[in-house]
Amino acid sequence: MSSSAFRLSRQPGGVESADPADSYLRRLSDAISEAVNVQPPPYLQMPPDGIPFNEVNYVALPAIGATAVIVSFMVSPGMNGVIKWIGNNFVGAGFTDGSGDIIWQITADGQPIRNHQHIIGSLGSPASPSETPPIRLFENQLIELTVENVSIAVAGQLCGGRLSGWYYAMEDDGANVWA
């Protein structure tokens, strides 16, 4: 290769540009970058056309042995989604985190979501939710955050919850929908 392959030529206005070989390599590199999809999957990072959601609510502590729905929403047709942040808390007297006196649960179509079926403590609060590994949501699923009162006497206490994340078009999953 000759030394002229690395020469810069001066263009009108004093701008320097690389010689044709360098320009060709740059165009080739750009074309390869465009052809290779380096975008992370939509369930790991919200795509540019993703739609954020933030469901927050408080309910009165249900009677002993009863369950109450704190947050409930349906995944829209044509969309999938991800829960990425969770917050739940108890407001009032009579509860110690981790005691099992109250059990929160996240369900999809009434079925417990793995690792979120027996929550006995606060996972952040609705005001400051904690990040969680992605919980994937699918078209037309009914998602609920519930609380069961195992053994706390009701005296005006509240249970709060927050589920936050994003929706994205189902076709963004491509062939890897069950990955």
Q: What confidence tens digit (pLDDT) does each residue in 38-49 have?
A: 678 999 999 999
Task: Say yes or no: 62 and 133 in one domain.
Answer: yes
Task: Say yes or no: 19 and 59 in one domain.
Answer: no
Nearest to 161 by CA among 93, 110, 82, 107: 107
Asked whether residue 158 is domain-assigned, the answer is yes
Task: Say yes or no: 125 and 157 in one domain.
Answer: yes
What's the CA gap between 166 and 36, in Å, rounded? 25
pLDDT for the residue numbered 2? 47
User: What's the rounded mean pLDDT across residues 8-30?
Assistant: 64
Q: What confidence tens digit (pLDDT) does each residue in 138-166 have?
A: 999 999 999 999 999 999 999 999 999 99
Where in 8-157 does DSSP place strands (E)?
8-10, 16-18, 51-60, 67-74, 79-91, 102-108, 111-112, 124-125, 128-137, 142-149
Partnered with residue 57 across adjacent β-strands are: 161
| Mean per-residue pLDDT of the chain | 87
- Kindly report the number of other CB atoms within 10 A of residue 140's CB atom: 12
pLDDT for the residue numbered 95? 94
Provide the domain count of the chain.
2
Domain with 30, as residue range(s), is 3-35
Asked whether residue 45 is domain-assigned, the answer is no
**Do residues 90 and 126 lie in contact, with contact meaning Cβ atoms separated by under 8 Å?**
no
Asked whether residue 81 is domain-assigned, the answer is yes
What's the CA gap between 171 and 33, in Å, rounded? 22
DSSP-derived secondary structure letter, 28: H
pTM above 0.75, yes or no: yes
Task: Say yes or no: 26 and 76 in one domain.
Answer: no
